[in-house]
Structures are given as structure tokens and as C-alpha cells.
Amino acid sequence: MSAYSISATVPLDNAAQLEETLRHIGATRYHSLHPFHKLLHGGKLNKGQVQAWALNRYYYQSTIPIKDAVVISRFRDRATRQEWRHRIEDHDGDTGAEGGIERWRKLTEGLGLDSAYVESTEGILPATRFAVEAYVHFVRDRTPLEAIASSLTELFAPNLHEERISGMLKYYDFVNPDIMSYFSRRLTQAPRDAGFALDYVKQHATTPAERRAVCNALIFKTNVLWVQLDALYHAYVDGHVPPGAFVPAK
């Protein structure tokens, strides 16, 4: 066991073994297992703590299209770029079509946060910034195959989003279906994206070494997500807010 890579003894001789290993990584390392999410979805946080989560996650959400633009830049193959580009539109929106970032801003606004403050990202935790930047650098610096593989956490997102929608609506009187629209929309977007990425890595990782690199890219990404919640827990559950970061109103 390592925090960064799968064990050398895991068999990766074909695409079926690759998929099995990827699903195992999700089942054991996805951030749905993190204690901060248990508190968030179980109604155990106060409004200020939910605000801190949404404020920090805004940085992740708003960086995703930048990450996807970098992914696209790695491919000479037009068909892959064509397939990938709707992800940018899903988040950025288009003329007359609201995108995910705008929906996320509605969430932070509905939680009572000032949009200019959220968009400035001035109040986010240093660990959020470092983790999210590491994701962008990963897709820039690793192979195109690993860049695609790092998006595979989305395979596990729909279950988490369903748990989040129902838990947050049930437990928090400051949450309503309108401000949760970001997540209801992702329930259809994420499976399509994850399905493409899974098919892609199964087809293009043709050696055990490449399949291992795919698995380790997914582990890297689960770490990107996990450390963001570690930092939120330390700051807003344990109460050690770093200098200059968002402090909820009393």
C-alpha cells in the first residue's frame, strides 16, 4: 500500500483488469469516504462551515475548464479535441446557456456569500489552491493518456452528488433545490464524460506499464480531492483557519 501508487503485484494484463483496478481505487480512495463529506451530507455542519466548503470548491470548479483547455492542447488528434470540448462549455456556458460555474455561483450566493469575494478566490485555503494547481500541472506535464485518466474520478461522482442533494436538502434549512441545481445537472453530464474517459484508457493503455500509469493518475486525482477536504476539516471543523483565509460570520 502506498499513498501514491498501486502495488507492483496488482495484475494489469488486459483492459478488464484495468477497469477492475480503477473501480477498486474509487471504492477505497474517492473523497466520498472523507469525514468532512460525512459531516456535510449528514447535516452536521453549521452554515459558516458549508459556506467555507462552497467557497473553496468554487476554485476547483472554476479551474476545471482551464484544466480541460490544457487537456485539449495535448492532442493533435482532432477527434479527441472535438469530444473533449463540450466539457469547457458545460462549465463556462455559452450565449443563452448557463454553465456550471454560474450554477456554482448561485450556490454560493444562495448560501449568503458575496459573489465578488467568491470570484476573487482571495479567501480560499492555501491547500485548495496548491491542490487544484497541481491538477492543472499534472495534465500539462504527464502523458496525454494520464491527463485523460486523471478525470476518471468522475466515474464515482454521481453517487456522491445524489447523496449530497438528498442530504443537504433534508438537513439544512438554508438549502433549496434551486441552489442545488449544479449537482442535479452533473448527474447527466458526469456519466457521459466518465464513460468516454474509461473507454479511452481501456483502448489506449496497451501495456501493463501504461495501465499502471493510468491507475496512478487516478490515485493522484483522488489525492487532489482528498487533501482539499483535509484542509477544510483542519480549518473549519478543528478551527485552525490559516492567516487571511475566509472566517465565517459568528
Ligand X SMILES: O=C(O)c1cc(C(=O)O)c2c(n1)C(=O)C(=O)c1cc(C(=O)O)[nH]c1-2
Residues that bind ligand X (CB under 6 A): 64, 100, 151, 153-154, 157, 160, 186, 225
Residue 2, Cβ density class (10 Å: 0-12 exposed, 13-18 middle, ≥19 buried): exposed
Residue with cell 455561483: 105
The cell numbers describing 91, all together, are 462549465
* Nearer Cβ to ligand X (215/225): 225
Q: How far is the CB of 156 from ligand X (least distance, A)?
A: 6
* Nearer Cβ to ligand X (183/236): 183
Full DSSP string of 194-217: HHHHHHHHHHH--SHHHHHHHHHH
Q: How far is the CB of 154 from ligand X (least distance, A)?
A: 5
* Nearer Cβ to ligand X (86/208): 86
Q: How far is the CB of 224 from ligand X (least distance, A)?
A: 8
Q: How far is the CB of 157 from ligand X (least distance, A)?
A: 4
Contact residues for 193 (Cβ-Cβ < 8 A; gap 6+): 87, 151, 154
The cell numbers describing 118, all together, are 467568491
* Residue 201 three-state SS: helix
* Nearer Cβ to ligand X (74/186): 186
